[in-house]
Amino acid sequence: MSSSSGTSGRQPPSSRIAPPTAAPVARRTAATASSSGVPTSSRGLTIPGGPAPARKPMAVATTNRAAGVATRTASSAAGGLRKPTTATTGATAAGVRRVGSASTRPVHGVKRPSSDEEQSPSQLNEIQAQLQAMAAMFDQERANTEAQMAAEKTERKKYEDKVLQLEENLEESKRLAKEQKREAGRRRTIFDDEMLQLRQAHAREKKMWEEDLERERSMIKALKDSMANSSTAHLTLEANNSALRTELQSTQDQLKAKEAMIVEMEATLAAQRAAVVEIENELREAESLRRKLHNEIQELRGNIRVFARIRPALPSQNAGALATIKLPNPREAKEIEVLSAGESATGTATMKSFGFSFDRVFGPEASQRDVFGEVEHLMQSVLDGYNTCIFAYGQTGSGKTHTLEGSGLPDSNFNGSDLTPTADSGAGLIPRAVQMLFATAESLKDKGWTYDFEGGMLEIYNETIHDLLGKGSLESAIKHEVKHEKGRTTVSDAVVLPLTSPSQVFSLLSKASSKRSVAATLMNERSSRSHSVFTLRVRGSNASTMESCDATLSLVDLAGSERLANSGSGDDAKRFKEAVSINKSLSSLSDVISALGAGKAATHVPYRNSTLTWLLKNSLGGNSKTLMLLALSPMAEHLGESLCSLRFASKVNSTVIGTAKKVKAGGE
């Protein structure tokens, strides 16, 4: 690019050098000018490329011309004068005409005569001499001109070579310029692409900065608004601060007054704390007295108590088939009367009446809550350290299981509070008793008592004990043995689980109920063919009074007490064996209660006659509280079985056993 621009910026020599034909043209122009009266001196001609001849003074030029004419005249006289050329002659003639004009002004020092004067020969000679001198001068000038033209031709050749070289350089420069132009175009394309990318990036960055700027402006605006609000709030706070200072001063004055009151109150508090300690001691003594009086009351009621409950008729049962069972004194609800149709010796139809008296009788309209209301005091005795046994007795379908369990045990995902009494009106004695025990144990924490619970579930089927919480099947169950040591009953290899909430107890009972042995009889489609025993062991201690207790609550659901003929078990060997075993255990229970009622007169209490009585030895003896729940069917067809159950319950109710004793921890 630099060589190209340098070449194009300098004017070529050909434009500054006159062509070779310029000199002859100049001479022809000068000759033409001479013939028309214009001076033809070569001194006024500028030869291109050579130095311009210096002008000489007019007098000197005239003298030289005169000298030249004289020289040529002398040469001519010698025979060597060259005849002037046509051009010279013309020029001379022109000069003569210029000299012979009407003007009297001398040319180069020669006075020109007027036209009417006669020219003398001397003047003509002088003129001729001048003309010769001028011709010589012209020859000299021609020679100089030719020499100059030769020099100019050589110079022109040199310049032409130089111009040719410059043209070649120019073509090379053009080629290089074209390549550079293409390269520049390619670079420009790249540059344009890069510029486009940069513009796009710039546009994106500009947009981003504009967005940032907009956000900053929004933030600034928000900050300004916040500052304005803060200023307002600051003024408000200053006003509030002033008001608060005034209030603080007032509060400080009140504080001083309160501090004085606190000093007085601390003195009063110290006195009250001493009173509280004394009251707590009195409370513990009162709690011990309450336990003593509570159990004295229970002893006055009898350590064996009997409740009778008549279940209502089922919707599917005919109301006309109901037996006549009356409550003579509904307000006291302790007597029950049963009317039974019969025949006299003469064949006359008669109506016999049978009356029985118990600790409490519940009619068909009594609710589960009503029944538990009469039982809950025994739950307190368990926490006080007394063994308690509640067993349900009656024929199949009389409502024993319903009374104990209710409409169904709550599942393991119990939704209600574990320590809140159940809102289910159909809940039986077991769920209500469990919740009451845990709730009461929780309330006694304020008095220093802490309790631990553990439970187990056993089944007595055909005089064999089965662990309903065990992992094995009942058929392959291992043999369990009952042991009695220091007032405590244990069963070998039986699962006993620690319990921390009622929901765990319900889960345990649900699991055990699914394994219990049941079968269909003529009196019930799903009759319990075994005795189930739920045992809840309660151990408590009081660090303040150093007291402790260890008691067991046994809830027993006895199998149906119907006779073989009524149950239809005689036709099935397996059912027959079950019925014989059930009746044997119930008869043994009756014998044990009778022996306990005889007191010292009884030489032996037959606990070992059945597995049931042997398992319940510590719950039936003199150191326990026992409750029998007699369940009765209201149907006339079951009246015979109901009378048998009533007679057995009446016998139990008339039995008086020894005083219950509190069991301390460790079986002391």
Q: Which of 513, 497, 491 is nearest to 612 (CA)?
A: 491
Mean pLDDT (whole number) for 602-631: 84
Of all residues in the chain, what percent carry a pLDDT higher than 70?
A: 68
CA 94 to chain centre: 125
Instruction: Give the model confidence (pLDDT) of 398-437 as tens digits.
Output: 888 889 888 765 554 444 455 555 557 788 888 899 999 9
The answer on whether 417 is annotated among ligand-binding residues is: no
Q: DSSP assignment, residue 600?
A: G
Closest CA to 87 of 34, 38, 41: 34
How far lies 32's CA from each of 26, 91, 103, 131, in Å? 10, 9, 22, 18
602 band by pLDDT with thresholds 50, 70 and 90: low
**9 assigned ligand-binding residue:** no
500 is in an annotated binding site: no
To the question of whether residue 350 is assigned a binding role by annotation, the answer is no
- How large is the average pLDDT for residues 349-363? 88
Question: Closest by alpha carbon to 631, among 245, 422, 425, 362?
Answer: 362
Helices of type H across 39-120 = 58-77, 86-99
pLDDT value of residue 331: 82
Whether pLDDT at 98 is above 50 = no
Region of poorest pLDDT, from 336-345, 457-466, 577-586: 336-345
Band of pLDDT at residue 660, cut at 50, 70 and 90: low
Whole-number pLDDT of residue 110: 45
SS3 category, 643: helix
Q: Is 395 annotated as belonging to a binding site?
A: yes
Residue 396, annotated as binding a ligand: yes
Total length of the chain:
668
Amino acid at 115: S
- Please tell me whether 394 is known to bind a ligand: yes
Sign, CA dihedral 589-593-598-602, equals: positive
Nearest to 504 by CA among 453, 541, 439: 453
pLDDT (tens digit, 9 = 90+) per residue, 8-30? 444 444 444 444 444 444 444 44
pLDDT of 528 reads: 61
The pLDDT, as a whole number, for residue 448 is 85
Highest mean pLDDT among 99-113, 337-351, 493-507: 493-507
pLDDT(613) > 50? yes
Residue 462: pLDDT above 70? yes
Greater pLDDT, 382 or 298? 382
Q: Where are the domains of the chain?
A: 2-170, 367-628
* Maximum Cα interatomic distance, the chain, rounded to a whole number of Å: 233
* pLDDT given at position 488: 79
CB atoms closer than 10 angstroms to residue 491: 18
Give the pairing of strands 360-362 and 387-393: unpaired
Is 479 annotated in a binding site? The answer is no
> How many other CB atoms are found less than 10 A from the CB of residue 372?
20
Listed in sequence order, the residues at least 6 apart from 155 whose beta carbon sits closer than 8 Å to its beta carbon are 17, 49
Architecture (CATH level 2) of domain 367-628 = 3-Layer(aba) Sandwich (3.40)
Q: What is the pLDDT of residues 107-120, one digit of tens each?
A: 444 445 444 445 57
Across the chain, mean pLDDT equals 75
Closest to 536 in 3D by CA, of 305, 382, 374: 382
The type of residue at 126 is: E
Q: How confident is the model over 158-186, as a mean pLDDT? A: 91
Whether the CB-CB separation of 404 and 430 falls below 8 Å is answered with yes
Question: Between 599 and 108, whose confidence is greater?
Answer: 599
